[in-house]
Amino acid sequence: MSLRHLVVISSLIACQAPTEPAATPPVEPPAPTPPPAPVVQTPFERDLAPKLAGCLGCHSADSQNGLDLTDLWASVDEPSSQIEMALIASGDHLQSYLWHKVAGTHSIAGGLGQRMPVGSTWSQDDIDLLARWINLGVPR
């Protein structure tokens, strides 16, 4: 038998040799889904917004008193209708008539009427939180 015949026979045998199926790579289970991130509320959302929401009973678009606090940010740097002072002076609570009305210092600032809210008063902590929020530039 010649060398050529041996090569042909070897090739035929190799082609007919049983082959093992290719190993499939192991399937990895999907990575666990991380838990949802906790909802972090700002102090404004958690503490101040609910207090200011109590003002909307008298100070909304439907009210007849001329002051709409539905969108507080629309009131930033807008003049008060009672005195020459911004309703909310971004960065300076002492120049914010809203703060004076809540703190009860509105008459000292030259304002009129009653302390707000009528029939109740905010705690000093809530008044201080309003001042900090204004002094920080009324962040959302």
Give residue 6's pLDDT.
Answer: 47
Of 4-13, 30-39, 57-66, give the lowest mean pLDDT range: 4-13
pTM value is 0.69
Give residue 7's pLDDT.
Answer: 46
Q: How do residues 24-56 score in pLDDT, each as one tens digit? A: 778 888 888 888 877 766 777 788 888 888 888
Give residue 78's pLDDT.
Answer: 93
Give residue 73's pLDDT.
Answer: 83
Q: Which residue has the higher pLDDT, 21 or 46?
A: 46
Give residue 24's pLDDT.
Answer: 76
Alpha-carbon distance 32 to 56, whole Å? 45
Name, in order, each residue with C-beta under 8 angstroms of 95's C-beta and a sequence gap of 6 or more. Answer: 85, 86, 89
User: Residue 123: helix, strand or coil by DSSP?
Assistant: coil
